C-alpha cells in the first residue's frame, strides 16, 4: 500500500480542442463538462493532483454545459477551475515523466483531433510504458484507437474496454457525422469491447487501462483511476 505521505504525481487531463461536429453540421461541440468534473471531484477528494492539457493548448471549447448538475456547477463557478481550463498546456509540450496517469475526457470533438494527434500517441505511450495508468471515458477512447506501443502493437490490442457504443451514436443521430464509429474501430484494433445498455454506467479496468462507456460512467472511471493510483 502507498503510505499516506508518499506523493502521487499528477494525473494529466486531456481535453479536445475541436469545436465543430463535422464539416457540414456547423453544430458546436468540445469536451463534455461532466466527463471532466465528475472524475476530477473523485481525485480532488482523494488528494490526487490534476493538471490540464488540450491538443492545441489554451482554452478548449466546452460542450454539455449542464449547470443543473451540482458537480458541474461547483467547478464551473470556481475561478481556480476556470483559470486552469482557460490555460491548458499544449499536449505536445508536456513531459510525460511528470505524470502518474493520463485521462482523456470525452465530448464529440475528441473524435476528430484525438486519433490524429502525434502527441496523444507519444505522451500516452510514454506514461503507460513507464508504469502509469491510461484512462478515458465516452468519446475519450477515440484517443486509444491509434496509440501504439514501442513494439508496434496497438495499446488496446487484446484489452477489455468500454466506450461510447455504436448504438448510442445512432441514438444521438451522429453516426453519419462522426469520422468513424468508436466501438467498432476499437474492436478492429483488437480490443474486446464490452457494451452496456444505452446510457447506463459501464467501467472496464484491464490492468492499467481504465475505460468508461458514456457520461454516466465518468464518476466510476475516476474511482477506478483513484484506486489504481492509491493501491
Active site includes 83? no
Active site includes 108? no
Q: Is 79 in contact with 85 (CB distance < 8 Å)?
A: no
Active site includes 7? no
Catalytic residue among 18, 138, 168, 193: 138
Catalytic residue among 139, 168, 194, 223: 139
Catalytic residue among 18, 108, 168, 169: 169
Q: Strands 101-104 and 133-137: what pairing?
A: parallel
Residue 26, exposed/middle/buried by CB under 10 A (0-12, 13-18, 19+)? exposed
State the DSSP string of 3-36.
-TTSPPPPEEEEE----BSTTTS--B--EETHHH
User: For 138, left (φ over 0), alpha (ψ -120 to 50), or beta?
Assistant: left
Q: Strands 160-161 and 101-104: what pairing?
A: unpaired
Q: Is 184 in contact with 178 (CB distance < 8 Å)?
A: no
Catalytic residues: 138-139, 169
Amino acid at each position: 500500500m502507498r503510505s499516506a505521505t508518499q506523493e502521487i504525481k499528477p494525473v494529466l487531463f486531456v481535453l479536445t480542442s475541436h469545436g465543430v461536429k463535422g464539416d457540414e453540421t456547423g453544430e458546436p461541440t468540445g469536451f463534455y463538462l461532466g466527463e471532466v468534473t465528475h472524475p476530477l471531484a473523485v481525485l480532488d477528494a482523494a488528494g490526487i493532483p490534476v493538471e490540464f492539457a488540450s491538443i492545441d493548448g489554451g482554452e478548449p471549447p466546452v460542450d454539455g454545459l449542464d449547470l443543473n448538475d451540482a458537480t458541474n456547477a461547483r467547478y464551473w463557478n470556481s475561478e481556480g477551475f476556470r483559470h486552469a481550463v482557460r490555460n491548458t498546456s499544449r499536449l505536445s509540450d508536456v513531459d510525460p515523466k511528470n505524470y502518474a496517469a493520463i485521462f482523456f475526457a470525452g465530448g464529440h470533438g475528441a473524435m476528430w483531433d484525438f486519433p490524429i494527434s502525434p502527441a496523444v500517441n507519444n505522451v500516452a505511450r510514454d506514461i503507460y510504458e513507464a508504469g502509469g495508468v491510461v484512462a478515458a471515458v465516452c468519446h475519450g477512447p477515440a484517443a486509444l484507437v491509434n496509440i501504439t506501443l514501442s513494439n508496434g502493437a496497438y495499446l488496446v490490442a487484446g484489452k477489455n474496454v468500454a466506450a461510447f457504443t455504436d448504438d448510442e451514436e445512432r441514438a444521438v443521430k451522429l453516426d453519419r457525422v462522426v469520422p468513424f464509429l468508436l466501438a467498432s474501430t476499437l474492436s478492429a484494433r483488437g480490443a474486446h469491447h464490452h457494451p452496456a445498455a444505452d446510457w447506463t454506467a459501464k467501467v472496464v479496468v484491464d490492468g492499467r487501462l481504465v475505460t468508461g462507456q458514456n457520461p454516466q460512467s465518468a464518476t466510476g472511471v475516476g474511482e477506478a483511476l483513484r484506486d489504481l493510483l492509491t493501491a
